[in-house]
């Protein structure tokens, strides 16, 4: 039973506590606001990454088409210089990092543009070349969105930090008020402490599941390091049991669980040798299983 449910179920007792009626509505309202902000933040982040991946898929399709046709032309006319410029395998293009894909695509575009007249007979027309350049530009613009969307959500992060602080402060006031009935309502008081022990000790037991996968293959990444840092408004000592941060590594299947965390917003830095660092935020909410699934790109 949640703390709010317990209090509502004992309204006859809580109604006798001075000032109690002022604070419970704040708890309920703040919890609702946290849920709304959390959903909005997650939608924004996943939407940005999805958009980038969609543009990436389009760019790969376009550049491979131009590569095949340009390679055919260069082979027929024995143009070894052009062939060397554009002869990328499908596997190499698909597995390339975002930055390498951008470079490959631009090289292929420039080579095709320089041989535009000759390539018409092979199915590469001016519109194909123009479209390829436009997709390259769109992809470049989308790359930081995929990353910044999950790292920068400053407004959402600040709002959540404020809401969590309000929640913590209000629960502290209710905890203090309940002391009034410690003697007169011992059973209620004891049960309340059991329900509230997670918050009153400041450690929390809000489980989190995390995973790391490779952006192109979807394969799990083991030994990726996740460093959780409490955001503004969340006491570091309570969130991390006195340590500077919470640090975890993914296991062989690219996953790990955190059994106990304090409620609040965390900035999470993910690192793995050979991959680009990533910074995201995650919200740990009372009574919910927080999930953090990240995709890493090779450096």
Statement to judge: residues 100 and 115 lie in one domain? yes
For residue 2, give the 3-state DSSP assignment.
coil
Calpha distance 98→101 (Å, rounded): 5
Statement to judge: residues 213 and 162 lie in one domain? no
Question: Using one digit for the tens of pLDDT, what is the confidence trace for 23-33?
Answer: 888 888 887 77
Give the pLDDT of residue 116. Answer: 93
47-61, 180-194, 259-273: segment of lowest average pLDDT: 47-61
Q: Summarize the confidence of residues 81-104 as an average pLDDT.
A: 89
Looking at residue 254, the DSSP 8-state letter turns out to be S
CATH number at residue 281: 2.60.40.10
Q: How many helices (H) and strands (E) does the chain have?
A: 11, 7
Give the pLDDT of residue 151. Answer: 43
Residue 270 has pLDDT above 70, yes or no: yes
DSSP 113-175: HHTHHHHGGGT--HHHHHHHHHHHHHHHHHHHHHHHHHHT-HHHHHHHHHHHHHHHHHHHHHH
Most confident option among 31-45, 235-249, 284-298: 284-298
Question: Using one digit for the tens of pLDDT, what is the confidence trace for 139-185?
Answer: 887 775 444 444 445 566 677 778 888 888 888 899 899 999 999 99
User: Residues of 178-203 as b/e, b for ≥16 C-beta within 10 angstroms?
Assistant: beebeeebeebbeebeebbebbeeeb
Statement to judge: residues 167 and 222 lie in one domain? no
Q: Is the Cβ–Cβ distance between 170 and 23 less than 8 Å?
A: yes
Q: How confident is the model at residue 241 (pLDDT cuts 50, 70, 90)?
A: low
Calpha distance 120→126 (Å, rounded): 8
Statement to judge: residues 90 and 223 lie in one domain? no
Q: Is the Cβ–Cβ distance between 263 and 167 less than 8 Å?
A: yes
Calpha distance 49→59 (Å, rounded): 15
Residue 49 has pLDDT above 60, yes or no: yes
pLDDT more than 90, % of the chain? 38
Calpha distance 123→66 (Å, rounded): 9
Q: Summarize the confidence of residues 218-233 as an average pLDDT.
A: 85
Q: Summarize the confidence of residues 47-51 as an average pLDDT.
A: 65
Question: Using one digit for the tens of pLDDT, what is the confidence trace for 178-214?
Answer: 999 999 999 999 888 887 764 444 444 446 889 999 9
Among 254, 292, 295, residue whose Cα is nearest residue 275: 295
Give the pLDDT of residue 147. Answer: 44
Give the pLDDT of residue 236. Answer: 53
Per the structure, the count of domains in the chain is 2
Residue 39 vs residues 35, 178, 194, 228, 257: alpha-carbon distances, Å = 6, 32, 30, 20, 21
pLDDT more than 70, % of the chain? 80
Q: Tokens for 160, please give them.
A: 């959540």
Question: Using one digit for the tens of pLDDT, what is the confidence trace for 65-89?
Answer: 999 999 999 999 999 999 999 999 9
Domain end marker among 173, 200, 227: 200
Statement to judge: residues 3 and 46 lie in one domain? yes
Statement to judge: residues 191 and 281 lie in one domain? no
- Quick one: 271 exposed, middle or buried, by C-beta within 10 A (0-12, 13-18, 19+)? middle
* Residue range of the domain that includes 161: 1-200
Statement to judge: residues 89 and 19 lie in one domain? yes
Domain end marker among 178, 200, 222: 200
Q: Tokens for 240, please give them.
A: 């991390």
Statement to judge: residues 177 and 209 lie in one domain? no
Statement to judge: residues 126 and 273 lie in one domain? no
Q: Tokens for 146, please give them.
A: 């995929």
Statement to judge: residues 98 and 218 lie in one domain? no
Residue 272 has pLDDT above 90, yes or no: yes
Residue 215 has pLDDT above 50, yes or no: yes
Statement to judge: residues 104 and 251 lie in one domain? no
Statement to judge: residues 219 and 192 lie in one domain? no
Domain end marker among 179, 200, 221: 200
Give the pLDDT of residue 144. Answer: 55
Q: Tokens for 14, please give them.
A: 């809580």
């Amino acid at each position: 039973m949640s703390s709010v449910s317990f209090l509502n179920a004992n309204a006859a007792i809580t109604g006798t506590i001075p000032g109690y009626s002022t604070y419970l509505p704040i708890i309920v309202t703040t919890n609702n606001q946290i849920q709304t902000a959390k959903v909005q933040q997650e939608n924004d982040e996943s939407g940005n990454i999805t958009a980038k991946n969609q543009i990436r898929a389009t760019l790969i399709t376009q550049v491979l088409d131009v590569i095949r046709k340009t390679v055919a032309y260069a082979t027929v006319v024995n143009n070894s210089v052009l062939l060397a410029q554009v002869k990328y395998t499908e596997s190499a293009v698909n597995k390339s990092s975002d930055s390498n894909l951008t470079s490959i695509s631009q090289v292929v575009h420039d080579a095709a543009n320089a041989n535009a007249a000759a390539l018409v007979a092979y199915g590469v027309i001016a519109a194909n070349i123009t479209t390829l350049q436009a997709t390259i530009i769109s992809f470049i613009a989308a790359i930081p969105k995929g990353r910044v969307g999950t790292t920068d959500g400053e407004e959402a992060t600040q709002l959540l930090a404020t809401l969590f602080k309000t929640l913590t402060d209000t629960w502290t006031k209710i905890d203090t008020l309940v002391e009034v009935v410690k003697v007169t309502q011992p059973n209620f008081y004891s049960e309340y402490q059991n329900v509230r022990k997670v918050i009153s000790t400041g450690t929390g037991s809000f489980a989190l599941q995390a995973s790391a996968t490779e952006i192109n293959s979807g394969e799990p990444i083991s030994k990726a390091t996740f460093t959780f840092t409490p955001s503004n408004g969340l006491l570091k000592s309570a969130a991390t049991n006195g340590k500077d941060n919470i640090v975890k590594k993914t296991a062989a299947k690219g996953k790990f669980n955190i059994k106990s965390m304090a409620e609040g917003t965390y900035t999470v830095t993910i690192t793995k040798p050979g991959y680009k660092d990533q910074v995201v935020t995650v919200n740990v909410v009372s009574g919910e299983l927080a999930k953090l699934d990240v995709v890493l790109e090779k450096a």
